[in-house]
Amino acid sequence: MLSRLVGFQTVSDRSNLDLINFIRAYLGEFGIDCTLTFDETGEKANLHAIVGPRIDGGVVLSGHTDVVPVAGQSWSSDPFTLCERDGRFYGRGTADMKSFAAIALAHVPQMVAANLKRPIHIALSYDEEIGCIGAPRMIEAMVSDGPSPAAVIVGEPTSMKVVDSHKGTMLLRTTVTGKSVHSSQLNRGVSAITAAARIIGWLDERTRANIGETPPGSPFDPPYTTLHCGVLEGGTAHNIVAKSAWFYTDIRSLPHESQDEWQARYESFVRSEVEPEMKAGAPEAGITIERLSAVPGLQPEENGGAEELARRLTGDNSRNVVVYGTEAGQFQEAGFSTIVCGPGSIDQAHQPDEFIEKAQLVAGEAFIRRLMRELT
């Protein structure tokens, strides 16, 4: 099953429908219906299927179908052909995160034969890698259509450790419009690059301030909210004052912090400190800020059903958090008890020669088998 899933080149800029249709046909062989929710183009879809009785109290096994690109990476073998070497399975998505889906799907015959008393939901999304864009549509349909699960397990790679918390992620695009003049007449223009640099400088200053405000006992690494510019473009020539510039802002916030408040603080600096000075030099100058994505953090749940279940199934009683984002916070926001637990290591995710240890697949299989016994 993992070989089949890796063979579908579901890079985020492509359709995932070939993979979705394969899974739908596979589940159909066992009499299992699937609900698909599509993006605006109709070229990408989420898949939600229920194995067992359509009643409340089941468990969701959640994963994403998309993978990051391989362009520019040096691979030792075809990234879209599963390759086994020295106890490892290599291929794009083996760690992040087609192995979890493969384990769940491979056990569907046993799930059907087990006469489950509570259902197992299989929930597979699109476009997680570019901002967890697809899952909200699927979650909305799950909430409205039912039945309501008791727990959600998001199978991102945690080496089968139970993760109860991760940071939130927000991506902003800021576009700066200035006034272009010859650089010898700098006083007559407004540099979009200079304005952008001031804003980016504030991101760094705010991050440094956050270090001094780190909450006591914060388990994250780093243990504070970070604000970062990863891409910046602008200008046309060395001797022309730049009319335009744009950049991305990546905010990784502690899970208890409000993403809306972080954006408000950012916009407050821009509107009060940078934009007025620009407009004083040229009324047509200005700054636009667009939120491209906002993925909520996952917060620990007091006596959370998903965590208690996952700890029973894994035997893991340690406290684990991650700093990368997942769809878990979106499920939690919708009212579902949610944790992150899956095979493989995030250290291999997005890397050339991405792999998963065979031992991790074995551990994932044992997890699913214990889950089936729990629900029978």
What Rg value do the Cα atoms of the chain yield, rounded? 23
Scored b (16 or more CB within 10 A) or e, 231-259 reads eeebbeeeeebbbbbbbebebbbbbebeb
Q: What residues are annotated to the active site?
A: 66, 128
Tokens for 301, please give them: 């749940």
What are 201-208's contacts with CB under 8 Å, separation 24+?
202/266, 202/269, 202/273, 203/227, 203/228, 203/229, 203/249, 206/265
Torsions phi, psi for 351 (to 5 deg): -95, 155
* CA 367 – CA 343 distance, rounded (Å): 10
Return the DSSP state at 182.
Answer: B
* CA 224 – CA 323 distance, rounded (Å): 10
* AA identity, residue 88: R
Return the DSSP state at 240.
Answer: B
The closest alpha carbon to 134, from 265, 227, 17, belongs to 17
Neighbouring residues of 28: CB distance < 8 A, sequence distance ≥ 6: 34
Report the DSSP pairing between strands 163-166 and 88-90: unpaired
Tokens for 365, please give them: 């299989």
